[in-house]
Amino acid sequence: MRLVFMGTPDFAVGTLDALHAAGHEILAAVSQPDKPKGRHAILEPTPVKQRAGELGIPVLQPEKASDPAFLEELKKLGPELIVVTAYGKILKKELLELPRLGCVNVHASLLPRWRGAAPIQWSIIAGDSKAGVTTMQMNEGLDTGDILLQEAITPDPEETGGSLFDKLSLLGGKLIVRTIEGLEAGTIRPVPQPEEGACYARMLTREMGEIDWSKTAEEIGRLVRGLSPWPGTYTYVNNKILKIHKAAVLQPDAAQETGAVFEADRAPGSVYTADGHLYVQCGEGTLEILELQPEGKKRMAAADYLRGNSRIAFLGKQGKEM
């Protein structure tokens, strides 16, 4: 099929690769403009632009997808379908109706749950038992179009935002190939999304990563996993940032065995250390910190950190080292 692909970040590369491998004629890849990165603000190509260049696919990078010159260029290309994966902008009606088969989006959630910018991370933070990918016929709303196909997976107990990202990127590529086959054969019937169960996955910020130790160990553990690798979670020790890269919920029987059983009057954020282990009291339950990163230093195992910081008593903004 003659198509145009629109996408920007790493997640979209899986879809682009799958379309190319399936033999579709990709007339152009459309990506957002390059952005400056690093201390010297050097322009860095988007992952989709870089991959399209490797595949020999022409790249278009309009400032706005509604730009008349860009729309005219698309009309000249004459795609039968536009496939959109994490492009990053809401598309206007004129573009949506330009191809014969319209625009189909690959979205990393089981719609209508987790419409919006960060569905992968929010599904982990919320503790969803299922994750997945939806292909939908796009309309002018935010991820509100009719559902074409869906496929669900069961996340691993220790799934992180990064690991689920990789799985759903590959799954999305496979699902769009099946979707296009169904559209060509006329075997797919779009299904309107129900409003029941709809929720939004708002954009991630660094501030979201600050740990509130009054929450349960389960909630904090999911936050650590969901925001890994970006933007990451953090707390404070002696008014310095301590990044938390990996943690595990300590089950009650294990807490009894290790001695990490906190008295009821101890404040959330209280620390217990033993044999190279670092345990933190939460609002309910105990969290073991496995990997962390002190301010200005490299990531390390908790045991290595404790060799020089064995007298920690509290974590959090109000906490102080003994």
Write out the chain in H/E/C secondary structure.
Answer: CEEEEEECCHHHHHHHHHHHHCCCEEEEEECCCCEEECCCCEEECCHHHHHHHHHCCCEECCCCCCCHHHHHHHHHHCCCEEEEECCCCCCCHHHHCCCCCCEEEEECCCCCCCEECCHHHHHHHCCCCCEEEEEEECCCCCCCCEEEEEEEECCCCCCCHHHHHHHHHHHHHHHHHHHHHHHHHCCCCCECCCCCCCCEECCCCHHHHECCCCCEHHHHHHHHHHCCCCCCEEEEECCEEEEEEEEEEECHHHHHHHCCCCCCCCCCCEEEEECCEEEEECCECEEEEEEEEECCCCCEEHHHHHCCCCCCCECCCCCCCC
Half-sphere exposure (Cβ direction) of 158: Cα atoms closer than 13 Å:
6
pLDDT value, residue 28: 98
Contacts of 107 (CB under 8 A, 6+ apart): 115, 119, 133, 134, 135, 136, 143
d(CA 141, CA 103) in angstroms, rounded, equals 13
Sign of CA dihedral 316, 215, 202, 132: positive
CATH assignment of 206-306, among 1.20.1090.10, 3.30.420.130, 3.10.25.10, 1.10.4160.10 = 3.10.25.10
User: What residue type is assigned to position 232 of the chain?
Assistant: G
2-201 CATH fold:
Rossmann fold (3.40.50)
d(CA 62, CA 71) in angstroms, rounded, equals 10
Contact 113, 136 (CB under 8 A): no
Contact 169, 234 (CB under 8 A): no
What are the sequence ranges of the domains in the chain?
A: 2-201, 206-306
pLDDT value, residue 42: 83
Token pair of 245 as six digits: 């890269």
Q: How do the pLDDT tens digits run along the chain, 322 residues long? A: 999 999 999 999 999 999 999 999 999 999 999 988 877 778 899 999 999 999 999 999 999 999 999 999 999 999 999 999 999 999 999 999 999 999 999 999 999 999 999 999 999 999 999 999 999 999 999 999 999 999 999 999 999 999 999 999 999 999 999 999 999 999 999 999 999 999 999 999 999 999 999 999 999 999 999 999 999 999 999 889 999 999 999 887 766 666 666 666 689 999 999 889 999 999 999 999 999 999 999 999 999 999 988 888 899 986 444 3
Give the tens place of pLDDT for each residue, 50-107.
Answer: 999 999 999 999 999 999 999 999 999 999 999 999 999 999 999 999 999 999 999 9
In the chain, what is the straight-line distance between the N-terminal and C-terminal CA atoms, in Å? Answer: 67
Contact 4, 104 (CB under 8 A): no
